[in-house]
Amino acid sequence: MAETTLRFAEPWWLLLIPVVIPGAIWLWRWAAGRRRALLNRVVAPRLQQALLQAVNYTRRRQKLVFLLGGLTLLIIALARPMLGNREVRVELPGIDYFIALDISRSMLAEDAAGTNRLTAAKRALTQLLRQPSGDRVGLIAFAGEAFLISPISQDHGAIERSLLALSTTSVSKPGTDIAAAIELALKSFEAKQEAGKAILVVSDGEELQGDAILAARKAAQQKVAVFTLGVGSAAGARLPERTWGQPVKFAKNEFGREVVSRMNERVLQQVAAAGKGAYARLEDERGKALLGLYEQHIKRLPKGTHVRKSTDPQEVYQIPLALGILLLMIEGLLNERRRVT
């Protein structure tokens, strides 16, 4: 059932009514007293009755009623009354793209913009999501397998909240399967959106299973561009194993040597080339490289049309405004003098 409750966008204007209306009545009475006093000074008492017979006191009171009614309605119009809601449909050109974020254990290596790779990636993606656009965005998290976290949506704030909640424990299966993330994104696009589709893979490129290049080629055949953002460094960093209340330890292999994780830039470049996209490397916490990748490549893809629906309050201030002006016009046109016959 549609909402029909009357409410006001700026109700504080209504506080003027108990001030303006008594004030207008006081002024009307004060003016009437002034007229009477002036009449007593300039007209002899025996002539006053003849002059007052020409005044139509009923009309004078009507003028007061119209004046008070007009002022009240104008104040109500200023308070912006709203009655019910209306649905607004806005067509926006934009792109549909999935962010596929690597949350494998290697993303904990601390060699990205002064922090670990996952935190640096989240900061950069947050800056991207906060850019004003008509794009629709989805979120996929992957490690040894891929999961759809958020379907394609125009609510970038919800995507950001889901992104910030991700950790390396969000996917239980270890490993890094970029191909699984690309294939899941392809299945998750809306069929009606034919143009302007892309996948943004954010990873350190340490592919442990799957064939990401083959998956990227499949995406390109379906007119879905694949872009990659490399996080980490070629020199690499050790993988911390943090235990609450214990000193930081680092992961070791079966030979007792500390594991060093390095970004595999070559794989990410090959995936982007196979997907007819582009590659960038994250180098700072503000995500300039990612924003540049979006502005120079993703943003320039052929755009589809998104229909955004919203429910807005139905403003009806026009009604009291028109009635108020009408009453004030009638008040000005009313003649309080009697016709002399």
pLDDT at 195: 75
Q: Give domain status of residue 232, yes or no.
A: yes
pLDDT at 269: 95
Asked if pLDDT for residue 248 goes beyond 70, the answer is no
Smallest Cα–Cα separation from 75: which of 330, 327, 333, 331? 327
Q: Give domain status of residue 85, yes or no.
A: no
Same domain, 222 and 328: no
Confidence of residue 333 (pLDDT cuts 50, 70, 90): confident
Same domain, 74 and 97: no
Confidence of residue 242 (pLDDT cuts 50, 70, 90): low
pLDDT at 47: 63
Same domain, 52 and 160: no
* Average pLDDT score over the chain: 84
Element (H, E) at 318: helix 318-333
Same domain, 118 and 236: yes
**Structural domain of residue 35, as residue ranges?**
6-80+317-333
Same domain, 67 and 156: no
Tell me how far apart the alpha carbons of residues 223 and 290 are, in angstroms, rounded to a whole number.
Answer: 22
Judged by average pLDDT, the poorest of 129-138, 158-167, 187-196, 318-327 is: 187-196
Judged by average pLDDT, the poorest of 151-165, 184-198, 230-244, 261-275 is: 230-244
Q: Are 322 and 107 in contact (CB under 8 A)?
A: no
Confidence of residue 35 (pLDDT cuts 50, 70, 90): confident
| Sign of the CA dihedral running 141, 109, 241, 119 | negative
CATH number, domain at 277?
Answer: 3.40.50.410
Smallest Cα–Cα separation from 144: which of 174, 168, 170? 174
Same domain, 65 and 130: no
Q: Give domain status of residue 339, yes or no.
A: no
Element (H, E) at 138: strand 136-142
Q: Give domain status of residue 302, yes or no.
A: yes
Q: Give domain status of residue 1, yes or no.
A: no
Tell me how far apart the alpha carbons of residues 30 and 60 are, in angstroms, rounded to a whole number.
Answer: 14
Q: Which residue has the higher pLDDT, 235 or 156?
A: 156
Note the pLDDT tens digit of each residue in 38-71. 766 666 665 656 566 666 667 878 888 999 999 9
Q: Which residue has the higher pLDDT, 288 or 283?
A: 288
Asked if pLDDT for residue 223 goes beyond 50, the answer is yes
DSSP per-residue codes, 193-232: --SSEEEEEEE-----SS-HHHHHHHHHHTTEEEEEEE-S
Q: Please count the structural domains in the chain.
A: 2
Q: Give domain status of residue 338, yes or no.
A: no
Same domain, 159 and 286: yes
Same domain, 321 and 291: no
Mean per-residue pLDDT, 106-116: 86
Q: Give domain status of residue 217, yes or no.
A: yes
Same domain, 69 and 142: no
| Tokens matching residue 51 | 């002059």
Same domain, 301 and 322: no
Judged by average pLDDT, the poorest of 20-29, 202-211, 308-317 is: 308-317
| Tokens matching residue 250 | 């680092």
Q: Give domain status of residue 172, yes or no.
A: yes
For residue 306, give Cα distances in angstroms to 136, 152, 197, 201, 245: 8, 11, 12, 23, 50
Mean per-residue pLDDT, 128-134: 88
Note the pLDDT tens digit of each residue in 286-325. 789 999 999 999 998 888 766 666 677 788 889 999 999 9
Note the pLDDT tens digit of each residue in 1-21. 445 688 888 999 999 999 999
Tell me how far apart the alpha carbons of residues 151 and 11 are, in angstroms, rounded to a whole number.
Answer: 40
Same domain, 10 and 40: yes
What is this structure's pTM?
Answer: 0.64
Q: Which residue has the higher pLDDT, 214 or 47?
A: 214
Same domain, 210 and 289: yes
